[in-house]
Amino acid sequence: MKPHSAPTVFVIDDDVEVRISIQGLLKSAGLRCEAFGTAEEFLRNQEPDGTSCLVLDVSLPGVSGLELQRKLADAGVRIPIIFITGHGDIPMTVKAIKSGAVELLTKPFDDNDLLNAIQQALDRDRITRVQQGEYAELRRRYESLTARERQVMGLVVSGMLNKQVAFELGTSEITVKIQRGHVMAKMQAESLAELVRMAAKLELPVSEK
C-alpha cells in the first residue's frame, strides 16, 4: 500500500454483494476503499501507512473478525475497527467494543450509521497518528541526551535543586547548571514544568541515579 493523501477504508466481508454495496457508498462519499473477501487476504497486504480504518465482518471463513482484531492488536496495529454482522448479540457487541472497536452494526444497517462510524474511526486514527508522531519525536530528543544528562534530567524532574543534584552526582553545582541547560535545549523544554510533562509522557523513572 502506497501513501495516499485521502484516508483509506478497508472492507473485509465474504459476501460479494455487501462488499460492492459498501464500496459504492464509500466512493459516493469521496473515500478510498480496498475490499477483501477474507482476513487472510487483508493480512497478506502491508500495514496501512496512512489514515485508515477497517470495516470488518464478524463471521468470516477461516480467521474470524474477532480473531483478526486480536491478531492486529498483538502485532501492534492500532487500526480502528467497525464490526458488521448479520446476527449481532449483546455479548458479541460487548466483547468487540471492550477490545477497542469503534462500533458494531447489524446488517442491514443504515448507510448514514456506517458513514458516521467510519468518520469517527478515521478521526480516532488521525489523533492516534499525531500522538504517535509526537511521542517518537520526544523519544528522539531524549535519546540525543548523554548518559549524564539523562541522570540530571531524572533528578531534576524528581524535584531536586541544582545543589542537591550536584551532591547526588558528586559534581559541582555549576556543572549541573550547564548540564541542565543542555537538557532543556535538547528536549526543547521552555520550563521545568514542561520538562516534567515530557518525562511523564516518556514514562521515565522519577530519578536515574
Residue range 133-145: mean pLDDT, rounded: 96
pTM: predicted TM-score of the whole model, two decimal places? 0.73
Cα 92 from Cα 98, distance rounded (Å): 10
- Provide the pLDDT confidence category of residue 78 given band limits of 50, 70 and 90: confident
67-76, 90-99, 144-153, 199-208, range with the lowest pLDDT: 90-99
- Provide the pLDDT confidence category of residue 208 given band limits of 50, 70 and 90: very low
- The CA–CA distances, whole Å, from 158 to 152, 193, 206 equal 10, 11, 5
**Per DSSP, what are the bridge partners of residue 12?**
36, 56
pLDDT of residue 162: 96
Taking CA 29 as the corner, what is the angle to CA 25 and CA 31, rounded to the nearest 5 degrees? 95
- First vs last C-alpha separation in the chain: 46
Q: Are 1 and 46 in contact (CB under 8 A)?
A: yes
pLDDT of residue 2: 41
Q: Are 66 and 94 in contact (CB under 8 A)?
A: no
